[in-house]
Amino acid sequence: MQSPPTLPKLSEFGLIEQFFAQPALSLSAAQGRIKLGIGDDCALISPRAGYELAVSTDMLIEGRHFLPGVDAALLGHKALAVNLSDLAACGAEPVAFTLSMALPAANADWLAAFSQGLFALADAYEICLIGGDTTKSVQPDGKQAGPICLSITVMGELPQGTALLRSGAQVGDDIYVSGTLGDARLALGHFFKEWALSDASFASTRLRMEQPEPRVTLGVALRGIASSAVDVSDGFLGDLQHILSRSHVGAQVMADALPKSAALQSEPLDRQRLCSLSGGDDYELIFTAAPSHASAVEAAARAATTRITRVGRITADKTLQLLDHDKKPLENRYASFDHFI
C-alpha cells in the first residue's frame, strides 16, 4: 500500500511568502504611495501632500464573528470588506492594509482560499497588503488549538479636513441609507432556526451575510456633500445613535421606509422591522445631508451606481423617534448588537 505523500511543512515566513505576497502590489506601489511593503521591520507609506491618512482596525474571531468551517475565500473577502466599510464611512480612498492572524494550524488549502478571497477584493479597490503578524493560536494551556483570530488595519487617504465624521449632523438634515438593510440578520435567523426561509431567500441573503460589498465609491462621492456618516455593522438604530450622540441631535425615522430586499419584503412586518432596524453585518452607509444638497446627494449615488433611500430627518429633540407607515409613533424595542450586554 502506498503511503500518503508527505506535504512540505509550512514555516511562518514560507507561509507569508507563498500566500501573502500580493500579486498586484506593483499596481498601488506605482501610484507612489507605498515606499516599502512586506519584509522589513516596518512598511513605509508616503502620503500625498495635502492629504491625511484615515486608519481603522477590525477584528474577526471564529465563533464570535464567523462560524467554524466557513468558506475560507468568503472569510478572506469579509475580513477586508468590514475594514473597507470603515474607510467608506469616512469617505477615504483605500491605500494600504496590514493583516494579523492567529491560526490553529498552517493549512495550505485554507490559506490559498483565504488569500484568494482577500486579494480579489484588495485588487478591486487597489489596496496594498504592506505587512502584518502571523502566529499560532492556542488555548491558555499552550497546547490545544485555539480559534482563528484575524485583525486587519486599513489605511486610506483623503484631502485634509474632508473626512465624513459622525459628529457633523445638523438639525433639519435628511437621513439616508445606502443599499438595503436586514438581509444578513434574516440569513442568520434561518441559520439559527429562529425562522425558516425558502431556498432562494436563504441563498440571496446568505450572500449578503458572507460577502458584504463595502460602499467605498459612495463614501468618496459623498465628501463635501454629506454632513455625517457611519457604516452599519451593529444595526441601523445603534449605528444611527452614534451619529446622534456625537452630533448632539435627535432623529425621526420612518421605520417602514428602510430599504429592504425582495426576500425581506416577503417576510412578516414584525420580522422586517426587526431585521432592518436592529440587524447587524449589513455594511451599508447611514449618512446625513442638508436638504439643499439633495440633488448633489442623488448625483453622488448615481455616480457610485448605489441605491440610496431617504429614511428620516435630524431633529433638535435629542431622542430617536420611530414612526410607522401611518406616521404614528412606533415603540422602539429593537436593540442593536453589543458584545458585552
Q: Which residues bind ligand ADP (CB under 6 A)?
A: 16, 20, 38-41, 99, 101, 129, 131-134
Q: What is the dihedral of CA 152, 155, 161, 164, to 10 degrees?
A: -40
- Cβ 45 to ligand ADP shortest distance, Å: 13
- Cβ 73 to ligand ADP shortest distance, Å: 16
**Which residues contribute to the site for Mg ion (CB under 5 A)?**
133
- Cβ 18 to ligand ADP shortest distance, Å: 11
Q: Which residue is nearest to Mg ion (CB)?
A: 133
Of residues 76 and 235, the one with the C-beta less far from ligand ADP: 76
Answer with the entry of ligand ADP, Mg ion, none that 20 interacts with (C-beta below 5 to 8 A by kind). Answer: ligand ADP
Of residues 131 and 238, the one with the C-beta less far from ligand ADP: 131
- Cβ 150 to ligand ADP shortest distance, Å: 9
Of residues 65 and 190, the one with the C-beta less far from ligand ADP: 65
Of residues 98 and 332, the one with the C-beta less far from Mg ion: 98
Answer with the entry of ligand ADP, Mg ion, none that 298 interacts with (C-beta below 5 to 8 A by kind). Answer: none
- Cβ 22 to ligand ADP shortest distance, Å: 9
Residue 331 neighbours by CB distance under 10 Å: 7
Quote the Cα angle for 55-56-58, to 5°.
160
C-alpha–C-alpha distance, residues 47 and 41, integer Å: 19
Of residues 12 and 194, the one with the C-beta less far from Mg ion: 12
Instruction: Assess contact for 101 and 133: CB atoms under 8 A.
Output: yes
- Cβ 203 to Mg ion shortest distance, Å: 40
Quick one: three-class SS letters along the chain? CCCCCCCCCCCHHHHHHHHHCCCCHHHHHHCCCEEECCCCCCCEECCCCCEEEEEEEEEEEECCCECCCCCHHHHHHHHHHHHHHHHHHHCCEEEEEEEEEEECCCCHHHHHHHHHHHHHHHHHCCCEEEEEEEEECECCCCCCECCCEEEEEEEEEEECCCCCCHHHCCCCCEEEEECCCCHHHHHHHHHCCCCCCCHHHHHHHHHHHHCCCCCHHHHHHCCCCCCEEEECCCCHHHHHHHHHHHHCCEEEEEHHHCCCCHHHHCCCHHHHHHHHHHCCCCCCEEEEECHHHHHHHHHHHHHCCCCEEEEEEEECCCCEEEECCCCCEECCCCCCCCCCC
Answer with the entry of ligand ADP, Mg ion, none that 41 interacts with (C-beta below 5 to 8 A by kind). Answer: ligand ADP
Of residues 151 and 233, the one with the C-beta less far from ligand ADP: 151
Of residues 58 and 234, the one with the C-beta less far from ligand ADP: 58
C-alpha–C-alpha distance, residues 267 and 181, integer Å: 14
C-alpha–C-alpha distance, residues 320 and 312, integer Å: 10
Of residues 40 and 109, the one with the C-beta less far from ligand ADP: 40
- Cβ 39 to Mg ion shortest distance, Å: 12
Answer with the entry of Mg ion, ligand ADP, none that 39 interacts with (C-beta below 5 to 8 A by kind). Answer: ligand ADP
- Cβ 71 to ligand ADP shortest distance, Å: 19
- Cβ 250 to ligand ADP shortest distance, Å: 44
Of residues 118 and 218, the one with the C-beta less far from ligand ADP: 118
